[in-house]
């Protein structure tokens, strides 16, 4: 029978979610939605030593900001809960399966102390073994239920002696599974060690809890980062040992996200060091240290998601802009690459620019409004803000960039020195004064009329743009460059434009003189 697609994102709350983790969540989400399935959020908190306060809340908030909404799991609930592994352990869920593995001879008790483990490693090193492990060879000389008598084992268990449970990796066997991204993965059992499944503190390890939970939560596809590929063979063995082979999920191991130069994995430490965030939202560590986030840097969450989707996947067409729904439709695991995807901070900005430009001026006006108010700028109405956004959006990456130039709100108090030096000539004031008369005579002061009159003025006086426009811009905006002057003047209105020319002519004249004398 076809099983309903069920996938999970299973982060460990050991710190903030790095964008690689968000991408894993996203691909899981897209795959689930594409197939009409369920997307679960499970918190894997079995390693108490690595638990970081605030990390779980951070994960929930980051996913929420990204619009990656779980159907089931922590923060949502569902019929396969609890979804936090620490709570599942409390409920005694794992113990029974560990016991089952010991009974069937696929796992065993090990009583070795840490000194004895160190000794074993040293002995093996001395004998020339490069990477000593607790495995099919070394286990025979250790203190475990394979080497001790049944009575001895029972005695130790009854006495409450600290012990772990280890998986008994079979000798001399090829373990195979098909990865949806990598194809066949074949590993010889001689390369695997007898991993601990159950710790002395009564907690299952990642491997045990992960497999048991995937089985119990009816997970059909395990989509996770490449760093978990080496765990694949052990997980496949556990499915077999527990008799769950017929419902074993399919595996898909996602490619790494690499540093911008392609050298090595993009790490949590790279972000602020290389000048861009590696976290979806800002993270404040328990010690107070702050790491920047995409949200706080001014990115739209849609742009962030769109960018992440392309780190390792492509639609096979030139289309680059996709909404979450569009991604859901286009996404397939077949189009996820095997090789690492280089993170490109410029492309990330490019995505944000596309989303900014796609917004209507009215939408942008609402976004820019609180910033305008924060700066204390006055403005007539929302239409004015919309026009400001229209004018500025071609040069902006973020909403806050729409206010990079403040001359649409306040008259200039400073004037671009380079323009003043190079473009302000002796005859500029008289040309501007004549232009002023023309402007004053325009009854309907809109961009088209201003442009028509301005051009006619140039023609009549046989002047080029370069002889008039820079000085004109300098007086009205204080800047050397910017969007269309006709649009700017029309937005400021006739009165303000003329006032700026009048007061500017004086100031600019004095500045020019000072420059010449200085």
| Tokens representing residue 254 in the block | 């996602």
Q: Which is nearer to ligand GLU, 228 or 244 (CB)?
A: 228
With CB under 6 A as the contact rule, the residue among 138, 145, 205, 210 that binds ligand GLU is 210
Near ligand GLU by CB under 6 A, which window of 10-18, 67-75, 295-303, 402-410?
Answer: 10-18
Q: What is the DSSP string of 84-126?
A: BHHHHHHTTTTHHHHHHHHHTTSEEEE---HHHHHHHHHHHHH
Whole-angstrom distance, CA of residue 426 vs CA of residue 131: 81
Least Å from the CB of residue 24 to ligand GLU: 7
With CB under 6 A as the contact rule, the residue among 6, 11, 20, 175 that binds ligand GLU is 11
Q: Which is nearer to ligand GLU, 235 or 473 (CB)?
A: 235
Angle, CA of 156, 159 and 164, to the nearest 5°: 55
- Please identify every residue annotated as catalytic: 268
Site residue total, ligand GLU (CB under 6 A)? 8
Alpha helices (runs of H) in 242-286, residue ranges in sequence order: 270-274
Q: What is the DSSP string of 341-357?
A: EE--HHHHHHHHHHHHH
Least Å from the CB of residue 93 to ligand GLU: 16
Contact call for residues 31 and 64 (beta carbons, < 8 A) = no
Q: Which is nearer to ligand GLU, 224 or 423 (CB)?
A: 224
Near ligand GLU by CB under 6 A, which window of 5-13, 164-172, 388-396, 418-426?
Answer: 5-13
The pattern of x and - marking residues 269 through 308 that bind ligand GLU according to CB under 6 A reads: ----------------------------------------
Query: Cα separations (Å) of 222 from 41, 43, 64, 217, 250?
Result: 13, 15, 22, 12, 6
Whole-angstrom distance, CA of residue 97 vs CA of residue 93: 8
Q: In what order do the strands lie in the sheet with 250-254?
A: 72-73, 38-41, 6-9, 221-225, 250-254, 174-179, 183-188
Near ligand GLU by CB under 6 A, which window of 8-16, 61-69, 290-298, 308-316?
Answer: 8-16
| Tokens representing residue 29 in the block | 């989400």
Residue 249 within binding range of ligand GLU, rule CB under 6 A: no
Closest CA to 494 of 484, 505, 506, 502: 502
Least Å from the CB of residue 85 to ligand GLU: 9
Near ligand GLU by CB under 6 A, which window of 7-15, 368-376, 391-399, 500-508?
Answer: 7-15
Residue 224 within binding range of ligand GLU, rule CB under 6 A: yes
Whole-angstrom distance, CA of residue 487 vs CA of residue 508: 23
Residue 44 within binding range of ligand GLU, rule CB under 6 A: yes
Near ligand GLU by CB under 6 A, which window of 6-14, 62-70, 191-199, 400-408?
Answer: 6-14
Binding residues among 446-505 for ligand GLU as defined by CB under 6 A: none
Least Å from the CB of residue 150 to ligand GLU: 35
Residues that bind ligand GLU (CB under 6 A): 10-12, 44, 206, 210, 224, 228
């Amino acid at each position: 029978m076809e099983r309903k697609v069920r996938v999970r994102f299973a982060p460990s709350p050991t710190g903030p979610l790095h964008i690689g983790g968000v991408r894993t969540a996203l691909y899981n989400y897209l795959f689930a939605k594409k197939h009409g399935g369920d997307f679960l959020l499970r918190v894997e908190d079995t390693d108490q030593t690595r638990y970081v306060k605030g990390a779980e809340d951070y994960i929930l908030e980051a996913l929420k900001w990204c619009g990656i909404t779980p159907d089931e799991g922590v923060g949502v609930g569902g019929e396969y809960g609890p979804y936090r592994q620490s709570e599942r352990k409390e409920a005694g869920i794992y113990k029974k399966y560990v016991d089952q593995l010991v009974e069937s001879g696929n796992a065993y008790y090990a009583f070795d102390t840490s000194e004895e483990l160190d000794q074993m490693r040293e002995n093996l090193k001395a004998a020339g073994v490069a990477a000593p492990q607790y495995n099919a060879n070394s286990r025979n000389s250790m203190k475990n239920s394979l080497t001790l008598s049944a009575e001895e084992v029972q005695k130790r268990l009854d006495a409450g002696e600290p012990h772990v449970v280890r998986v008994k990796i079979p000798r001399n066997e090829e373990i195979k599974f098909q990865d949806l991204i990598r194809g066949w993965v074949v590993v010889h059992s001689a390369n695997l060690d007898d991993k601990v499944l159950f710790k002395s503190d009564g907690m299952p390890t990642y491997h045990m809890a992960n497999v048991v939970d995937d089985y119990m939560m009816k997970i059909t596809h395990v989509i996770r980062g490449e760093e978990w590929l080496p765990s694949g063979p052990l997980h496949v063995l556990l499915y077999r040992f527990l008799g769950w082979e017929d419902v074993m999920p399919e595996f898909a191991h996602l490619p790494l996200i690499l540093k911008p130069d392609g050298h090595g994995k993009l790490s949590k430490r790279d972000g602020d060091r290389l000048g861009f965030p590696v976290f979806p939202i800002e993270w404040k560590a328990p010690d107070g240290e702050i790491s920047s986030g995409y949200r706080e840097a001014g990115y739209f969450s849609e742009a962030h998601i769109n960018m992440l989707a392309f780190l390792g996947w492509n639609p096979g067409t030139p289309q680059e802009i996709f909404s979450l729904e569009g991604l859901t439709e286009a996404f397939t695991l077949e189009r996820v690459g095997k090789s690492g995807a280089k993170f490109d901070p410029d492309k990330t900005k490019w995505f944000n620019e596309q989303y900014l430009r796609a917004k209507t001026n009215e939408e942008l006006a609402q976004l820019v409004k609180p910033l305008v108010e924060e700066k204390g700028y006055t403005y007539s109405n929302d239409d004015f803000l919309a026009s400001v956004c229209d004018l500025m959006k071609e040069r902006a990456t973020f909403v806050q960039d729409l206010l990079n130039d403040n001359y649409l709100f306040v008259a200039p108090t400073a004037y671009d020195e380079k323009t003043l030096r190079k473009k302000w000539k002796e005859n500029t004031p008289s040309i501007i004064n004549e232009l002023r008369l023309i402007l004053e005579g325009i009854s309907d002061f809109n961009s088209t009329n201003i442009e028509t009159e301005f051009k006619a003025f140039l023609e009549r006086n046989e002047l080029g743009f370069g002889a008039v426009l820079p000085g004109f811009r300098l007086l009205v905006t204080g800047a050397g460059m910017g969007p269309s002057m006709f649009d700017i003047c029309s937005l400021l209105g006739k009165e303000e434009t003329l006032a700026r020319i009048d007061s500017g002519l004086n100031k600019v004249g004095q500045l020019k003189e000072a420059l010449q004398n200085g």
